[in-house]
Structure 1
Amino acid sequence: MSAPGPGEGVRHVSLRSGVYADSVRLMQVSRDVGARDGVTAVLVAMATPLNVELAAGMGLAPDGTPSPDELLIGIRATDDDALAAAVTAVDTALAERERSRATADAQPARTIGAGLDDLDPNTAALAIVSVPGQYAALEAADAIAAGRSVLVFSDGVPVEQEVALKRAAREAGVLVMGPDCGTAIVSGVALGFANVVRPGPVGVVAASGTGAQQVSCLLDAAGVGVSHVIGVGGRDLSEAVGGLATLDALAALDADPATERVLVVSKPPAPSVAAEVARVSDGLATPVRSAALSPGTPDLTAAVEALLADMGRDVPAWPSRPGPGATAAPGAVLKGLYSGGTLADEAMLIAAPVLGDVRSNTPLRPELDLGTDLSATGHVVVDFGDDALTVGRAHPMIDPTLRLEAIARLAASGEAAVLLLDVVLGHGADPDPATALAPALREAGLPVVVALVGTEADPQGWSRQADALAAAGAAVYASNAAATRHALDLLGAV
């Protein structure tokens, strides 16, 4: 549909059935079309409830109640010619993708089983599954049956299927990383969201993707590398799963001659599972240290510092850019806008004892749940990487749209605040996050503190990103714990 609006030019909103593309590809189409002359707003995405809500906020809401299986195309432009050219550009981009797939000399296998049929068993020891959650267990089971370890990137896998997969993997003598495993480093090869870190003697077992990235980057900054980072999925240390993959990963690292120390990273684990992991760890030849976040336990930076002390290594001054010395207005509150769930949890665990209740979409206590009101007043920490906010969308480490809109809303609200953000670098992440974030921070005009997780060797470069963010007025810290404490200091809370 196309219609004029006061000061809005013209718009096109349509729904298409039988068309599917992954969220990262559609994000790229949106960016490319949005850069065209005369185009003022564009959203090309699957019509999930989240994306429909986002379209409505852009004035591009479709009629009726679309199905998540439909493709939503919404464009606003200054005039009819620009609008028509933009619609054509979307059509061309989508058609080119289909044409490339149809004319490829060798069609890719459509299942893990079919792919394994074409491979020498000695050339592929690990399979990666990244399909909608309802199909992931079937693909992972095929890999396990073929004697391969498997990384399940997919989320939305029922917990009973996760347990069944991990039990089958144990019987087969292989590992299941995941589901919802976004970070791993296997023998120096980064999988998913992972950083370029030096090789070394520390093995990491992680029920947390950004937690694994934080500790591996701090170790790198201290001159200590990692042998492997084995992601086990965020639910592995829950009562329901019982730490199945964590225990198997510990055994694998204990048998690895390149691993001299092990660090276990997680969000708050089930107490009984944590006790079992501790019991098993005590019986291993390789020393194991826990970095399990929960009230009263050391933060991730403190856990790394303790590990360095265990190894007889000096603790360095963690990289930082102090910022311009901004001060918060009287009565200011903490606003944490995070892409990493574990980093958001860590920020709340540090802030809550000082500030009192901190509300969140992933709260420390159920009664502090934000629900759908992500713009609530008071102390708030939002995890934009939570599964509920990534259905049909690229992860916020790739696509910053939702977080940029939240920054703009906060600035427009007039609420006095200190803004606390994470920016996570590395493979798979936005190739230049500061370019999009810095203008938004300048325009917001609020005191800003950034936890910048990454290394100098990452494609984005830690110093390059830190300098750009500092130039926009942010105080930048390699340690999320240090960033959080600086934000509290700006609030006058410490």
Structure 2
Amino acid sequence: MSVTTLIKKNTYVDSVSLMSISTRANDIAGVEQAFVAMATEMNKAVLSDLDLLSPELADAGGSDLMIVAVTAPDVDRDQTLAQIEALLARRGPVGDEAASPPRTLGAAVASDPDANLAVIAVNGAYAAREARAALENDLHVLLFSDNVSVDDEIALKTLAHEKGLLMMGPDCGTAIINGTALCFANAVRRGPIGIVAASGTGSQEVSARIHELGGGVSQLIGTGGRDLSAAVGGITMTDGIRALAADDQTKAIVLVSKPPAPEVEKRVLAEVATAGKPVVVYFIGGSEAAVTAAGARFAASSQDAALQAVRLTVDAGAAVPALDTSAVASVRARLRPEQRYARGLFCGGTLCDESMYALLDAGEAVYSNIQRDPAFLVRAGDPGRGHTFLDFGDDEFTAGRPHPMIDPSLRLERLVAEAADPSVAVIVMDFVLGFGAHEDPVGVTLPAIAQARAQAAGRHLEIVGYVLGTDRDTPALSDQISALEAAGVTVMHSSTQTGAYVGAVVRKETAA
């Protein structure tokens, strides 16, 4: 093993670009591991944990860019560095104007006075400062960055509210504003349904299902995952509801979130009651009584939320196909008596939640890194036990690493490991298409699926996959599904169906 490092002084690259560059750098021939990141204390801690932190890297400043490449001994290290630097050079458009892009927010505003929204993806230590500057320049903000304090989030959202602006984030990964997809989002048609969501993949799932049912999205406003906490108080959620209530193009509103803090739920539902438009509420595991009391429509699932919204606006007769469980009995017949458990390996937190709740609602105990019951909470490095559902997009998995929608390597390793457990009956995975995601999420997983089946030699291992995407996404949704089916994967057609199918396979009362 050979380790090559390069420090580029005072060279800033945004975190969205770095996630993609790191993934592509790991695909360079001869590279065993590549790490391209800003020299923040968190990233240096990750390198230290990997035993890759040299004294020079330890001394690098937060504005420096670190490149670390672990290669085979016979690989030309200079050539490897040159290839990684070429990836950095190619990250933006070419041409005279792109050669010297604005280096400050003020310069960017001056270069395009008509712009009214800033997307900010900088190190968390500087994110609040840049977001405040954008708001003070009367720009709406989508703050992709995480590691922003709760106090800073409250201050930013309060300022935005006072100025009549939207403060989406921090840690906001998905939005569609006036038809333009920002960060992770899917290609969906425009239409009369507005979405406000405290969940990135949850909003992607609802928007994709709306598109599939013939509807369209007017706006998709992300809030960031902490917005509905007791501390933050749902500031962006309520501001988003008001914005959509005032939007002539929006005829119905969908809210998506994990269960809010009780006092925040009351505040949000009070806003819903005065919206003047039909509102569908999908709070995962939330209270139907509270939603209906506010005059809104309760959605039991992401699919139900999309279906109700489409029926309200576009097609009163819209319907979704019933889950085909005809194969469940034959799958169960192929399982050994000790194969009783499901393992979920998810890129999307809401997709993980929805499948997990399908089992919880059936009376099954589920361990997870996003469990709200501390008795069933597991950490990133814990081995699977019983039913275990993991959200690989959670902060514990992504510290110093790209999101699994960009770099699925940790999930692929876990897939092979879980397949070796003789108690596992089902492994379920999501594959997320869309802007910013991996260019071929299924293709990069197929070798690991083959390894998993080899690990389970002599026993049937049911692998279930769900591809979140639309017929307008790249790569083609149909091609991704076909590739999974060719590999023997059972493919579901919505997040809701995925959870229901897995629950049917492992449910105790139907056990052999």
TM-score tier after normalising by the smaller chain length: 0.7 to 0.9
* Percent of pairs with identical residues: 35
Amino acid at match of 2:372: L
1-side partners of 2:473 and 2:324: how far apart? 17
Among 471, 479, 489, the residue aligned to 2:494: 479
Map of 2:364 onto structure 1:
356
Contact persistence 1:13–1:62 (CA under 8 A): no
Q: Structure 1: any 5+ residue segments left out of the alignment?
A: 1-10
Residue 17 of structure 2 corresponds to residue 27 of structure 1:
no
Q: How does 1:234-313 map to 2 (within 5 A)?
A: 234-294=225-285, 298-311=300-313, 312-313=316-317
Q: Deviations over 1:239-271 (max 9, x none)?
A: 111111111111111111110000000111111
2-side partners of 1:96 and 1:377: how far apart? 43
Compared CA separation, residues 336 and 295, structure 1 to 2 (3 A): farther
Compared CA separation, residues 320 and 157, structure 1 to 2 (3 A): farther
Amino acid at match of 2:336: A
Comparing 474-483 with 66-75, which one deviates more in the overlay? 66-75
Structure 2 SS opposite 1:398: coil
1-side partners of 2:56 and 2:83: how far apart? 26
Map of 1:7 onto structure 2:
none
Amino acid at match of 1:205: V
Q: Deviations over 1:382-429 (max 9, x none)?
A: 111012221222111111111111111122344423101111111111
Compared CA separation, residues 369 and 13, structure 1 to 2 (3 A): same
Amino acid at match of 1:458: D
Contact persistence 1:201–1:258 (CA under 8 A): yes
Map of 2:320 onto structure 1:
316
Contact persistence 2:323–2:497 (CA under 8 A): no
Q: Deviations over 1:289-347 (max 9, x none)?
A: 11111266612122223334444232132799998964443233110101111111122
2-side partners of 1:133 and 1:417: how far apart? 41
Comparing 389-398 with 334-343, which one deviates more in the overlay? 389-398
Compared CA separation, residues 322 and 407, structure 1 to 2 (3 A): farther
Among 166, 190, 195, the residue aligned to 2:186: 195
Structure 1 SS opposite 2:119: strand
Compared CA separation, residues 193 and 329, structure 1 to 2 (3 A): farther
Contact persistence 2:193–2:217 (CA under 8 A): yes
2-side partners of 1:98 and 1:382: how far apart? 32
Q: How does 1:22-421 map to 2 (within 5 A)?
A: 22-31=18-27, 33=28, 36=29, 39=30, 41-46=32-37, 47-50=43-46, 55=50, 67=58, 71=66, 73-77=68-72, 80=73, 82-83=74-75, 85=76, 87-96=77-86, 106-120=99-113, 123-294=114-285, 298-311=300-313, 312-317=316-321, 326-327=331-332, 328-331=335-338, 332-354=340-362, 356-421=364-429
Amino acid at match of 1:313: G
Contact persistence 1:218–1:478 (CA under 8 A): no
Amino acid at match of 2:308: A
Comparing 194-203 with 349-358, which one deviates more in the overlay? 349-358
Comparing 19-28 with 352-361, which one deviates more in the overlay? 19-28
In the TM superposition, residue 224 of structure 1 has moved relative to its aligned partner by: 0.7
Structure 1 SS opposite 2:362: helix
Q: Structure 2: any 5+ residue segments left out of the alignment?
A: 38-42, 289-299, 454-460
2-side partners of 1:460 and 1:389: how far apart? 26
Compared CA separation, residues 296 and 256, structure 1 to 2 (3 A): closer
1-side partners of 2:69 and 2:88: how far apart? 21
Map of 1:12 onto structure 2:
2
2-side partners of 1:290 and 1:195: how far apart? 21
Contact persistence 1:113–1:139 (CA under 8 A): no
2-side partners of 1:382 and 1:65: how far apart? 36
> What TM-score comes out, normalization by structure 1 length?
0.87
Q: Deviations over 1:416-446 (max 9, x none)?
A: 2310111111111111111111232233122
Contact persistence 2:57–2:66 (CA under 8 A): no
Map of 1:433 onto structure 2:
441
Compared CA separation, residues 99 and 400, structure 1 to 2 (3 A): closer
Q: Deviations over 1:116-159 (max 9, x none)?
A: 13222xx2011110001121111111111111101101111111
Comparing 368-377 with 469-478, which one deviates more in the overlay? 368-377
Contact persistence 2:465–2:492 (CA under 8 A): yes
Map of 1:3 onto structure 2:
none
In the TM superposition, residue 72 of structure 1 has moved relative to its aligned partner by: 6.1
Contact persistence 2:138–2:165 (CA under 8 A): yes
2-side partners of 1:397 and 1:99: how far apart? 23
Structure 1 SS opposite 2:32: strand
Amino acid at match of 1:389: F
Amino acid at match of 1:486: Y
Compared CA separation, residues 138 and 274, structure 1 to 2 (3 A): same
Residue 480 of structure 2 corresponds to residue 465 of structure 1:
yes
In the TM superposition, residue 286 of structure 1 has moved relative to its aligned partner by: 1.6
2-side partners of 1:49 and 1:365: how far apart? 29
Structure 2 SS opposite 1:419: strand
1-side partners of 2:325 and 2:482: how far apart? 8
2-side partners of 1:382 and 1:265: how far apart? 20
In the TM superposition, residue 488 of structure 1 has moved relative to its aligned partner by: 1.8
1-side partners of 2:197 and 2:183: how far apart? 14
Contact persistence 2:442–2:480 (CA under 8 A): yes
Contact persistence 1:321–1:470 (CA under 8 A): no
Compared CA separation, residues 256 and 473, structure 1 to 2 (3 A): same
Residue 462 of structure 2 corresponds to residue 447 of structure 1:
yes
- Number of residues of Structure 1 aligned to a counterpart in Structure 2: 467
Contact persistence 1:24–1:393 (CA under 8 A): no
In the TM superposition, residue 94 of structure 1 has moved relative to its aligned partner by: 4.2
Contact persistence 1:202–1:261 (CA under 8 A): yes
Q: Deviations over 1:13-66 (max 9, x none)?
A: 2454456762321221221x2xx3xx373333445545665x57xxxx667997
Map of 1:4 onto structure 2:
none
> What TM-score comes out, normalization by structure 2 length?
0.84
2-side partners of 1:318 and 1:66: how far apart? 56
